[in-house]
Chain A
């Protein structure tokens, strides 16, 4: 299986900060990498697909980049509603696998 490792596992930041979360795959996955946001007690919500395509309805402060093995999710200016856990998911091949998550907390 392709392993997907996120860093950091947790992150403290303030409203208005620029935040970057990293995802690294155990082998090249081209641009087949998706990002999700999960709030407590809720299902994950798709933010970014294909490494950099913004899902419809997702604010433009979210962006994704990368290819091969290294990917980033950037939130350009944190808003209070962005404090959540973020997951990446590789879609290069089944079995699809997720990163372990990055919990973004308020500083």
Chain B
């Protein structure tokens, strides 16, 4: 079973860029059919799908974040990353990486994905 582990700074200043990496082990990001995802959870709140990437580099973003979000993949390092620009306190959350399997994407729209497994999550606080 593939395992995922998030890494990155736990504190980011307002207006700066939040950068996180997800290291994939016991599996390959280059395996077809899987989409490598970022999901966040505001403190004490529900879950928000941010976006995901295929090993080919194709990306799919939540429109609510699209203007600030970039997800990239490094197949040589077997990891994928998130960059979120111009952060505010509203971006304070636990950030999870996860593998999305089971579905497919076509014409910019994806369907039928479920998230399994997830990384343990990392809390990122936006504060000066």
By a CB distance below 8 angstroms, the chain B residues around A94 are 49, 60, 62, 105, 109-111
- A43 engages B46 (CB within 8 Å): no
Interface residues of B in 71-103 (CB under 8 A from A): 96, 98, 102-103
A98/B60 in contact, CB under 8 A? no
Interface of B is mostly: strand
Q: Within the complex, which residue of B114, B117, B118, B121 is in contact with A91, where a contact is CB–CB below 8 Å?
A: B114
Nearest A residue (CB) for B118 = A43
Q: How far does the alpha carbon of A75 sit from the alpha carbon of B68 in the complex, in Å? A: 40
In the complex, chain A residues whose CB is within 8 Å of the CB of B112: 32, 50, 91
A101 near B111 with CB under 8 A, answer: no
B-chain residues with CB within 8 Å of residue A100 when the two chains form the complex: 46
- Nearest chain B CB to A87 CB, angstrom units: 6
Docked complex Cα distance between A55 and B116 (Å): 9
**Which residues from chain A contact B110 at a C-beta distance below 8 Å?**
93-94, 96
Query: Contacts A49-B102, A91-B113, A93-B111 given: A98-B118 contact, CB under 8 Å?
Result: no
Bound CA span A95–B110, Å: 8
A95–B113 touching, CB < 8 Å: no
Cα-based distance from A31 to B17 in the complex (angstroms): 38
| CB-CB nearest in chain A for B98 | A43
Interface residue from B47, B63, B111, B120 paired with A98 (Cβ < 8 Å): B47
Question: Does B119 count as interface, using CB distance less than 8 angstroms?
Answer: yes
Total contacting residues, chain A, CB less than 8 A: 24
CB closest chain-A residue, reference B113: A91
With A44-B115, A49-B102 already in contact, the answer to whether A98 and B121 are too (CB < 8 A) is no
Which B residues lie within 8 Å of A96 (CB)? 49, 110, 113
Known A-B contacts A43-B96, A43-B119, A95-B64; the reply to A87 vs B46 at CB < 8 A is: yes
A selection of 22 A-B contacts at a CB cut-off of 8 Å is A34-B115, A36-B115, A43-B119, A44-B47, A45-B118, A46-B114, A46-B115, A46-B116, A50-B112, A89-B47, A89-B115, A91-B103, A93-B111, A94-B49, A94-B110, A94-B111, A95-B62, A96-B110, A96-B113, A98-B48, A100-B46, A101-B46
Given contacts A44-B96, A91-B112, 9 further A-B contacts (CB under 8 A): A34-B115, A46-B114, A46-B115, A89-B115, A93-B110, A94-B60, A96-B110, A96-B113, A98-B49
